[in-house]
Each structure stands twice: as structure tokens, then as C-alpha cells.
Amino acid sequence: WYCNGRLATDTGPFVAQLSEMCSSFCLTFVGFCNVYAISMNRNQIETLLEELHQIYPRCTKNHYRCQHYFDMAMRIMRIEFLFYMIFYVYYNSAPVLLLLWEHLHEGYDLSFKTQTNTWFPWRVHGSALGFGMAVLSITVGSFVGVGFSIVTQNLVCLLSFQLKLHYDGISSQLVSLDCRRLRAHKKLRILIAYHCRILQLGDQVNDILNFVFGSSLVGATIAICMSSVSILLLDFASAFK
């Protein structure tokens, strides 16, 4: 970008392309952070899921709305999956469709635009093979990033609804607790210990996902700011992409 910037004749398009590149870089950074967080915390995640599985309420316990939270979690994860897949297909098919449209309409020069303004060690503009390799490499890279993002979002959804299920069950048992009965104090002590255990699990969830939340917040904020530069420069195509 430094070499191309010295040769640029128009400042507006160059700044718009630069902001688009920075936005893509920030989203790539978020993807790498998701990969790092899942890989480094794999043992902690497995231990946490195993513990949640052990304390998962059985169907005979009426204080837990297992089916309700299961349906909500599955609905949210399906929506997230469709959201990611729709934009993944759009993002990676747009360069090919644009090139095909330019080829079918006379008077248009083939632009050979890839998904983002990225440098490749081979010739892309004017080469069908180089263009195909460039699009394929970005497609594979974005597939890995989107895959880990979906895994991270599903993990957040799963852990959140697991904790909600237990908190809801504890509150239901406290409401139904009759202090006039014998051994009610023992039941209360069991619920307090159970609540403390759930709070500890919540702290473990926060420790695992704090890095994910922080990196996503920083990366997404910078990406939005960089995209707004393209909007201000009236480069709606790059901003929308």
C-alpha cells in the first residue's frame, strides 16, 4: 500500500481502499483470536462441558424447563448459522458473479476484483488462473474464520443457556420451598451450595470467553469505523461488501 499510495492519483478511492483493507484485516484478527481462544482453552472447555453434563437435570425434575431452553438455544444457533452462511456465500461469490457480468456485457473491461484488496505473490489482474487462485485462497481462509466464529458463537449460546437453565431451576425450587416442612433447612443448604457451584461455573465461563469478547469488541469496532470511511467517501460498494 505504501508503494501504490505514492503512485495514486486520486486520494478518495485510495483512502477508501485502504479503509476497506483495514476493515478486512480487523475481521481477520477477530477470526485469529477465535481460533486462538478455542485452541488454547480446549481443555478448560472440555472440563466445563463435562461438569455441566454431570449436573444437567433429569427429565423427572419438574423445576427445570429443559425443553424450553433447548428450543431457544437451537433456534438462535440456526439463525446464526444461516446468517453466517448467507453472507459467506455472498462475499465469496460476488467477485465471480461480477466478472461473469462484465464478460457477458459488451463495453465493460474485466476488473478481476477479488473479495478484498489483497496483495498476492502472483499475477491476478488479467489472468484467469491467478484470479481463480486468489478467490479460492480467500474463500478457504474465510471458511476457516467463519467456521471458528460459528463454533465460538454456538459455544457462547450453549453455555449461556445452560447457566440460565440452572438459575431458573434454582429460583423455581426456592419459590416452592416450604419452610414449615421438616428438613427444609437442609434443602435450603443444598440449594445454596448448588447456587455457589453454578456461580463458580459462571466465573469459569467468563474466564474462557473474556478474551473472545474483548477481541471481538475491539476488532468489530475498528472494522465498523473503517467501513464508515468508505461510506463517507461515497464508495458504497466497498462499504456494503
- For 62-86, the pLDDT digits (tens) are 777 888 888 888 999 899 889 888 8
46 burial type by CB count under 10 A (0-12 exposed, 13-18 middle, 19+ buried)? exposed
**C-beta separation of 131 from 173 below 8 A:** no
Q: What pLDDT sits at residue 229?
A: 67
Quickly list DSSP for 5-67. HHH-S-HHHHHHHHHHHHHHHHHHHHHHHHHHHHHHTHHHHHHHHHHHHHTPPPTT-TT--HH
Per-residue pLDDT tens digits for 85-132: 888 888 888 788 877 877 777 767 777 777 666 667 777 777 778 878
Distance CA 89, CA 217 (A): 24
Give me 120's grid cell.
Answer: 498476492
Per-residue pLDDT tens digits for 205-240: 888 888 888 888 888 788 777 777 666 655 555 555
Q: What percent of the chain has pLDDT over 70?
A: 83
Domain assignment present for 4: no
Domain assignment present for 5: no
Q: What pLDDT sits at residue 210?
A: 85
The domain of 191 spans: 10-240
Distance CA 199, CA 205 (A): 10
Domain assignment present for 197: yes
pLDDT greater than 70 at residue 166? yes
Distance CA 107, CA 74 (A): 49
Domain assignment present for 2: no
Domain assignment present for 3: no
Domain assignment present for 72: yes
**Number of independent structural domains in the chain:** 1
pLDDT greater than 70 at residue 1? no
Domain assignment present for 121: yes
Rounded to whole angstroms, what are the CA distances from 12 to 19, 226, 235? 11, 14, 9
Q: What pLDDT sits at residue 7?
A: 53
Per-residue pLDDT tens digits for 179-202: 777 777 888 888 888 888 888 888
pLDDT greater than 70 at residue 6? no
Quickly list DSSP for 68-89. HHHHHHHHHHHHHHHHHHHHHH
Distance CA 205, CA 215 (A): 16
Total residues found in the chain within this entry: 241
Task: Give the angle 8-105-93 at the CA atoms, nearest 5°.
Answer: 70
Per-residue pLDDT tens digits for 7-52: 556 666 667 677 777 777 777 788 788 888 888 888 888 888 888 8
